[in-house]
Amino acid sequence: MIVCGGGTSGVAAALCAARAGASVLLVERSGVLGGQLTLSGPPGFAYARLFNPRNERDVGGILEETYQRLYRSGHAQPHMRNSLRTKAGYAFSYVDIDWWIFLIFDMMEEEGVVLLLDTLVADTILEDGTVKGIVVENADGRTEIRGKVVIDCTGEGYVGIMAGCEHECTDRDIIQPHSLSFTVDGVDWEEFMQYFRDHPDQFSYKQLLNPYTDNTREKVYDFYSKSHNPLDIGEFMGFYELRDFALDNGDWHPYSGAGFFLMPKEDGHVQAHFQHSSQVDHTIPTDPWDVTRCMLECRKQNRIAWRFFKNYVPGFEHAYITKQSTELRFREGPRIMGDYVLTREDVVECRQFPDTIGKTSFRAGAYHVSTMDTLSAVSGHKDLGAPKDGGSYDIPYRCLVPRKIENLLVAGKAVSAERPAYLRYVQQTMVTGQAAGVAAALCARDGRTPRELESDVSELQRILVDQGAILYETKP
Ligand SMILES: Cc1cc2nc3c(=O)[nH]c(=O)nc-3n(C[C@H](O)[C@H](O)[C@H](O)COP(=O)(O)OP(=O)(O)OC[C@H]3O[C@@H](n4cnc5c(N)ncnc54)[C@H](O)[C@@H]3O)c2cc1C
């Protein structure tokens, strides 16, 4: 079987398919695995949200295994489980992305996954509505590769679109803005944290509120004012007065709020990671002209943002940029419509499904906009909704099975969901990747199509549970 795309979903799919007995080829356009986690990241909070606001664990499986392996080797932080974070359902479980890459290449070797890197999937081989394989382009030219089942893990659903699957993408006028991230070293954390403690009200607190818990603005500010270790906070968004002062001086741009996340490295070093310093809207990820315009504009905005941090923010005087990403971080792209479409109601009602393949607790409708309010703009939209009582909802297997086209599964960002229920976070992409991998292995073994598997998912679910996935009961 063939996995197209080696991001977090593709990695999970390939490893778990191999463990379920399939011979697996993973085709990746770049030379590294991890996709948005590594090529355009790391994301500010990778990994995160492995616990819901009831402090119950809802994600296990391959994600948990990679976390534990990195933790044991000193390349992951303990789960951040202070009471504010826990109640918000927004706990970080940092992994060092450079060591994640080492680990994943090791695991590919352990499981016997065949890798084909620097290779673009350029088309599908389609016969009577059934995907029989893919067409790839690389330094060798253009080649056909046939496989029993194909999984689209390209993030933007490119393979599904090439095969003619029904898909939706938010209109250019309202699509969420995309960003280009960069990472910084050399911050004087003591000086910075002194400023933070002295000015807690200059920072965003809304990300730690949840309608089903008793976190308040006052509690958040009180916590901020007593914090010494930046890793206890995780993200620093706001800098309101400094930012507005800079704006008046022509030293800030009006397209995003100011702030950064953290990237813990070896030997206790902590980098600052900026993924909100540039924001460009009206960009459809599958339109290369849009993407080029967005990339050029993001670079300009990042330079302005960095000048602001160097010149205005205590602790940044001697800091320096260590990495600018080479790819954009796409906040929104196509979704391939499947036999079930996950809805906002499913999220807010914490629905369970007989064909569950995993769980998640990320709220619905958390959209960004390219204004300085970007981070607070995630509250207030009509689509926004937190899962009921701080619980978790199921992801049904049918969301991975595209309508009409046979022999194709989709995992990762592009699985079938309404816009508010978009499943784009790293933990969600690894849950759907793991399930798609095992499902494809069963289909390849039995000569069934992914759609035929829908009639009885009991073996799929049993193997997923055996692999450590959380399908039914969340765990304390
Ligand atoms: C600004 C921003 C911040 C974010 N922050 C967080 C965060 O803090 N925490 C979090 O959990 N999530 C975060 N996310 C979301 C998350 O990082 C991504 O949605 C997730 O990593 C996507 O995983 P994926 O496997 O679906 O796709 P991707 O990571 O996009 O992987 C797709 C892979 O397929 C490859 N590919 C694409 N097309 C082809 C082709 N034709 N042929 C071959 N290979 C191909 C790509 O090179 C890539 O490796 C953030 C996203 C953005 C935009």
pLDDT tens for each residue of 173-201: 999 999 999 999 999 999 999 999 999 99
More reliable by pLDDT, 360 or 380: 360
- 365 Ramachandran zone, left/alpha/beta (phi>0; psi -120 to 50): left
Report the C-alpha gap between 196 and 190 in whole angstroms.
10
Expressed in angstroms and rounded, the spacing between residue 429 Cα and the centre of ligand 1 is 9
Helix axes 217-225, 189-198, angle to 10 degrees: 140
Which atom of ligand 1 is least distant from the CA of 5? 34
How far CA 358 is from CA of 340, 392, 453, in Å, comes to: 15, 10, 17
Q: What is the pLDDT of residue 364?
A: 94
Expressed in angstroms and rounded, the spacing between residue 142 Cα and the centre of ligand 1 is 25
Contact yes or no for 51/428 (Cβ under 8 A): no
Structure confidence by residue, pLDDT tens digits, 264-286 = 999 999 999 999 899 999 999 99
Which residues surround ligand 1 with Cβ inside 6 Å?
Answer: 4-10, 27-30, 35-37, 39, 41, 43-46, 48, 120-121, 153-155, 158, 179, 275, 329-331, 412-413, 424-427, 429
Which atom of ligand 1 is least distant from the CA of 414? 26
Expressed in angstroms and rounded, the spacing between residue 39 Cα and the centre of ligand 1 is 8
Tell me the average pLDDT across 390-394.
97
The pLDDT mean for the chain works out to 95
**CATH tag, 2-173+332-365+379-466:** 3.50.50.60
Q: What is the pLDDT of residue 375?
A: 60
* Side-chain half-sphere CA neighbours of 67 within 13 A: 21
Report the C-alpha gap between 17 and 223 in whole angstroms.
44
Angle at 152 between CA 50 and CA 127, to 5 degrees: 155
Is the pLDDT reported for residue 379 higher than 80?
Answer: no
Contact yes or no for 440/400 (Cβ under 8 A): no
Tokens for 17, please give them: 């398919």
Tokens for 406, please give them: 């046979």
Substitution candidate for ligand 1 out of 2, 93, 154, 361 with most atoms within 8 A of CB: 154
Q: Which amino acid is at 251?
A: D
Tell me the average pLDDT across 380-398.
92
Q: What is the pLDDT of residue 401?
A: 98
Expressed in angstroms and rounded, the spacing between residue 444 Cα and the centre of ligand 1 is 26
Alpha helices, DSSP H, located in 177-239: 189-198, 217-225
Which atom of ligand 1 is least distant from the CA of 47? 11
Report CA dihedral (276, 281, 284, 289) to the nearest 10 degrees. Answer: -100
Q: What is the pLDDT of residue 34?
A: 97
Expressed in angstroms and rounded, the spacing between residue 86 Cα and the centre of ligand 1 is 26
Which atom of ligand 1 is least distant from the CA of 7? 31
Structure confidence by residue, pLDDT tens digits, 320-357 = 999 999 999 999 999 999 999 999 999 999 999 999 99
Q: What is the pLDDT of residue 43?
A: 81
Q: How many CB atoms lie within 10 A of CB 190?
A: 11
Is-above-0.85 flag for pTM? yes
Tell me the average pLDDT across 9-13.
98
Tell me the average pLDDT across 91-119.
97
Structure confidence by residue, pLDDT tens digits, 111-157 = 999 999 999 999 999 999 999 999 999 999 999 999 999 999 999 99
* Domain ranges in the chain with CATH number 3.50.50.60: 2-173+332-365+379-466
Longest dimension (CA), the chain: 67
Is the pLDDT reported for residue 380 higher than 70?
Answer: no
